[in-house]
């Protein structure tokens, strides 16, 4: 008889949330994590005493009465999080090389319109219409509002609308179009593919409210882990799953890298569906299903420069920067080599010790996996072995950093003189530390031209194997949380679970 009701592969946010929900409902749960640190993209790391986030720079929907606030109350962590609310009148600042003006995305829908109408007074009605339509699109996704609803999980309307075209249909002002789409690196926005619903669900959560985690997002992992253990759940790190073994149509056990077998009644994969398929030894799953998952395209990856700032050199700002070389904000994802970067985002972490000055800054640009492909057979999981991918790789990262700093100088002219030290990450970093397929930071890329192709169900063709995590629904703290509700809804009944969450 298997000891565990639920074995979860990966301790990313989705794995932790499923473990919490199911252990709270009496299931015997085990999480297996390949790394020492739990949390996947929730992990933080420290350089020169400054804390850096891997993948949680800011979070939306955390005001009282909003969706993520309610979920976090249910998880028992809302009142324990150390958060700072971002600038009400401009949590995101959008800017362009040919224009000294900064354009603000403000919190609260009316305020969002008000602030942008100062820059675009002739576009007030268009702005109102934009915010109305964004909310209408979100309304077609009931789970995002924690609504009990028999409607299909994916909204039936707006699935096949392109985000860039939609914005262009709302306003003919080219600069305003770019300002409205200017935070699209939050979802690796691609003018050719990105669906409107992805844009709408992401911008909606931040317009509702925008917060940073003080001293990093790993606090979410720590708090969830504590609750899971209190519920009787078990978590093992350094436990890399290498095989999922099926016999007679059900998964019987998984195998770890060291050969250990772990049996379970049900298995939830919090890792990429394609990687899950690669690990699965099965005679049940047809090639068509497997190949569909293996063939899905992943969104772009990133090149990140994490800068430790000299003490008291740069005043903390409670905003993020999105800066573009050109007016078209939907093409940056496709620039490579000498042309890149075409844009950058800057996130300023908030630390308890920093006071009025910032300790650090994270600069993010896009990078495609092909740019680091020549090093794809090198693997680094110990930060100390800095140059183990070779000198050429170090040289490549340094050149890329210099190009990024040239662009950052347009916004922060003194940037080079503020740097105490820096560290960089590439698509290979995300592949090796989080297990991100092709280093794609947000998982499977959505495409409005074939929306159902990228629809991943939490259930698979094997009745006791399930998916959760950012590839299921959407990425981001909210997207992954909604995904966990879907996965656990299969076990508990979705409306039962929603009622529990709404009553928390």
Positions touching ligand FAD (CB under 6 A) are 9-15, 32-35, 40-42, 55-59, 240-241, 270-271, 302, 430, 434-435, 441-442, 469-470, 475-477, 480
How far apart are CB 217 and ligand FAD at their closest, in Å? 8
Question: Measured at CB, which residue is nearest to ligand FAD?
Answer: 12
**Tokens standing for residue 468:** 């959760």
Nearest CA among 232, 211, 209, 229 for reference residue 221: 229
Q: Which is nearer to ligand FAD, 180 or 188 (CB)?
A: 188
How far apart are CB 98 and ligand FAD at their closest, in Å? 27
Q: What are phi and psi of 400, to 5 degrees?
A: -65, -40
Residue 243 gets the label, from left (phi > 0), alpha (psi -120 to 50) or beta, of beta
Query: 3-class secondary structure for 418-457?
Result: HEEEEEEECHHHHHHHHCCHHHCCCCECCCCCCHHHHCCC
Q: Which is nearer to ligand FAD, 228 or 477 (CB)?
A: 477
Q: Which is nearer to ligand FAD, 126 or 432 (CB)?
A: 432
Which residue(s) pair with 83 in the sheet? Answer: 213
The C-alpha atoms of residue 473 and residue 197 are separated, in whole angstroms, by 11
Q: Which is nearer to ligand FAD, 34 or 325 (CB)?
A: 34
Pairing of strands 360-367, 301-309: antiparallel
Q: Which is nearer to ligand FAD, 43 or 171 (CB)?
A: 43
How far apart are CB 120 and ligand FAD at their closest, in Å? 26
How far apart are CB 90 and ligand FAD at their closest, in Å? 17
Strands (E), 333-432: 343-347, 360-367, 419-425
**Tokens standing for residue 453:** 């192709």
* Residues 148 and 130 sit within 8 Å (Cβ to Cβ): no
**Tokens standing for residue 39:** 């949390």
Q: Which is nearer to ligand FAD, 117 or 214 (CB)?
A: 214
How far apart are CB 487 and ligand FAD at their closest, in Å? 10
Which residue(s) pair with 139 in the sheet? Answer: none
Q: Which is nearer to ligand FAD, 201 or 271 (CB)?
A: 271
Q: Which is nearer to ligand FAD, 6 or 13 (CB)?
A: 13
* Residues 356 and 127 sit within 8 Å (Cβ to Cβ): no
**Residue 201, SS3?**
helix
Q: What residue has token string 């699209």?
A: 184
How far apart are CB 53 and ligand FAD at their closest, in Å? 7
Q: Which is nearer to ligand FAD, 94 or 434 (CB)?
A: 434
How far apart are CB 429 and ligand FAD at their closest, in Å? 10
Exposed/middle/buried for 240, CB within 10 Å: 0-12, 13-18, 19+?
middle
* Residues 199 and 184 sit within 8 Å (Cβ to Cβ): yes
How far apart are CB 38 and ligand FAD at their closest, in Å? 7
Q: How many CB atoms lie within 10 A of CB 376?
A: 15
Exposed/middle/buried for 497, CB within 10 Å: 0-12, 13-18, 19+?
buried
**Tokens standing for residue 320:** 């993020």
How far apart are CB 47 and ligand FAD at their closest, in Å? 16
DSSP annotation of 152: -
Q: Which is nearer to ligand FAD, 53 or 126 (CB)?
A: 53
The C-alpha atoms of residue 26 and residue 347 are separated, in whole angstroms, by 40
The C-alpha atoms of residue 251 and residue 349 are separated, in whole angstroms, by 43
How far apart are CB 99 and ligand FAD at their closest, in Å? 25
Q: Which is nearer to ligand FAD, 116 or 484 (CB)?
A: 484
Which residue(s) pair with 346 in the sheet? Answer: 321, 363
Q: Which is nearer to ligand FAD, 242 or 378 (CB)?
A: 242
Q: Which is nearer to ligand FAD, 272 or 389 (CB)?
A: 272
Residues in the chain, total: 504
The long-range contacts involving 385-391, CB below 8 angstroms and separated by at least 24 positions, are 389/428
* Residues 456 and 256 sit within 8 Å (Cβ to Cβ): no
How far apart are CB 413 and ligand FAD at their closest, in Å? 26
How far apart are CB 418 and ligand FAD at their closest, in Å? 22
How far apart are CB 204 and ligand FAD at their closest, in Å? 13
Nearest CA among 84, 63, 64, 19 for reference residue 216: 84
Q: What are phi and psi of 47, to 5 degrees?
A: -130, 130
């Amino acid at each position: 008889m298997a000891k565990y009701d639920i074995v979860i592969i990966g301790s990313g946010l989705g794995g932790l949330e499923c473990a919490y929900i199911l252990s709270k409902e009496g299931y015997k749960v085990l999480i297996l994590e390949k790394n020492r640190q739990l949390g996947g993209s929730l992990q933080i790391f420290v350089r020169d005493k400054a804390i850096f986030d891997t993948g949680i720079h800011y979070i939306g929907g955390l005001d009282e009465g909003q969706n993520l606030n309610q979920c976090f109350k249910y998880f028992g962590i809302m009142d324990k999080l150390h958060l700072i609310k971002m600038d009400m009148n401009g949590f995101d600042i959008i800017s362009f090389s040919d224009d000294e003006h900064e354009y603000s995305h403000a919190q609260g829908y009316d305020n969002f319109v008000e602030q942008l109408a100062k820059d675009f007074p002739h576009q007030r009605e268009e702005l109102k219409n934009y915010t109305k339509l964004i909310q209408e699109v979100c309304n077609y996704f009931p789970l995002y509002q924690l609504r009990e609803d028999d409607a299909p999980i994916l909204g039936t309307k707006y699935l096949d609308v392109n985000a860039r075209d939609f914005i262009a249909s709302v306003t003919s002002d080219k600069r305003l179009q770019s300002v409205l789409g200017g935070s699209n690196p939050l979802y690796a926005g691609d003018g050719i593919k990105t669906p409107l619903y992805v844009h709408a669900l992401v911008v909606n959560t931040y317009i509702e409210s925008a917060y940073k985690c003080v001293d990093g997002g790993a606090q979410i992992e720590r708090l969830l882990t504590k609750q899971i253990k209190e519920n009787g759940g078990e978590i093992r790190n350094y436990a890399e799953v290498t095989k999922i073994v099926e016999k007679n149509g059900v998964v019987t056990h998984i195998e770890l890298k060291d050969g250990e077998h772990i049996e379970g009644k049900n298995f939830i994969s919090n890792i990429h569906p394609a990687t899950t398929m690669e690990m699965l030894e099965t005679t049940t799953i047809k090639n068509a299903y497997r190949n569909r998952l293996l063939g899905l395209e992943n969104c772009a990856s990133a090149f990140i420069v994490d800068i430790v700032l000299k003490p008291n050199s740069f005043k903390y700002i409670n905003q993020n920067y999105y800066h573009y070389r050109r007016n078209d904000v939907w093409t940056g994802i496709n620039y490579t080599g000498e042309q890149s970067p075409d844009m950058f985002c800057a996130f300023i972490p908030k630390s308890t010790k920093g006071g009025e000055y910032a300790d650090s800054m994270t600069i993010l640009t896009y990078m495609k996996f092909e740019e680091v492909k020549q090093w794809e057979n090198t693997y680094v999981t110990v930060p100390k072995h800095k140059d183990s991918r070779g000198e050429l790789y170090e040289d490549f990262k340094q050149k890329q950093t210099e190009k990024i700093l040239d662009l950052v100088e347009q916004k922060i002219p003194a940037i080079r003189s503020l740097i105490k030290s820096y560290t960089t990450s590439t698509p290979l970093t995300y592949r090796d530390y989080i297990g991100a397929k092709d280093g794609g930071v947000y998982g499977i890329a959505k495409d409005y031209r074939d929306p159902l192709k990228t629809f991943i169900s939490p259930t698979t063709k094997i009745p006791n194997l399930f998916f959760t995590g950012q590839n299921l629904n959407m990425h981001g703290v909210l997207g992954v949380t909604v995904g966990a509700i879907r996965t656990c809804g299969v076990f508990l009944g979705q409306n039962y679970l929603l009622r529990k969450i709404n009553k928390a």
